[in-house]
Amino acid sequence: MPHHYVYEERRPLPDDGRYHDFVVPDRTAVVSIDMHQGHLSDSPLCPCPAPRGRDIVAGIDDFHREARAAGIPIIHVRSELRSSGVDDVRGIPSAWRTTFPEFVGDIPNAAEHALAGSPWTAFATEIDPRDEIVTGKKRLSAFYPTDLDFLLRQMGVTAVALDGIMADCCVLNTAFDASNLGYRVLVARDLVRGTDERLERAALSMMSLHMALVMDADDILDAWGATTDRLPPGPENPRSARPVRGVG
């Protein structure tokens, strides 16, 4: 039986239909947020390091393979700013550039974060040829100012399953926006990471109370499997093409 979390308490997912529209796989897409080198590189020049996110790269790749096998599309969203910097440091700078260093200290290469054409926008997770990529994320939400909402509606999607970084920042903002736009939201609890464990737990608790089903990835897959046959990876599965790590 699939379980979900309510304010950190793990509970069986009710089977009375109240969450049916959250877990209908043929109307769902996975949205993976900011799993790119600008956050995940171990280089000392990494412009906005989120080192805890490195722990979930392999798990996200596994989850995406399972989702593809069930016929569920994957959308990779990344931050990308014009190379001139006008979207940020040479225009109206993002607020995090002032506030975040108060906690983590000076970020020496922060001005290079997410610049178009830089190596920092390369994905660290696997990209399947059939996946979709949404670029141009310039602030905290995957919806702003990208075409993610347009893409989801074109795909007939009514529910999104979120993974990626950071739980207390971009994942949280994306969940709020998705809910406000009328989407049902799932969050893969074990496949997001926050600034630290405390903020990660707080963000997941807020999402669980106000706009999302917070579930472990295996429970999400089980919930989808309750309403569709999950195909095993293999040549008979049209969505099981060989993945490519770190494409664009």
| Over residues 213-235, mean pLDDT | 75
Counted domains in the chain = 1
241 — pLDDT class (breaks 50, 70, 90): very low
Q: Domain containing 187: what range?
A: 3-226
State the CATH number of the domain containing residue 189: 3.40.50.850
Residue 216 in contact with residue 190, Cβ under 8 Å? yes
Contact between 28 and 237 (Cβ < 8 Å): no
Taking CA 119 as the corner, what is the angle to CA 115 and CA 122, rounded to the nearest 5 degrees? 95
pLDDT digits (tens, 9 = 90+) for 165-174: 999 999 999 9
Residue 60 tokens, joined: 């996200």
Answer whether residue 10 shows pLDDT above 50.
yes
DSSP alpha helix (H) spans, the chain: 37-40, 57-69, 96-99, 101-104, 148-154, 172-180, 197-210, 217-225
Residue 29 lies in a domain: yes
Q: Does residue 240 form part of some domain?
A: no
Q: What is the pLDDT of residue 226?
A: 63
Mean pLDDT of 42-65: 97
* Nearest CA among 234, 247, 201, 207 for reference residue 68: 234
Q: How confident is the model at residue 237 (pLDDT cuts 50, 70, 90)?
A: very low
- Find the radius of gyration of the CA atoms of the chain: 17
Model confidence at 181, in pLDDT bands (50, 70, 90)?
very high
**Residue 127 placed within a domain:** yes
> What pLDDT does 245 receive?
57
Res 247: pLDDT: 55
d(CA 187, CA 175): 8
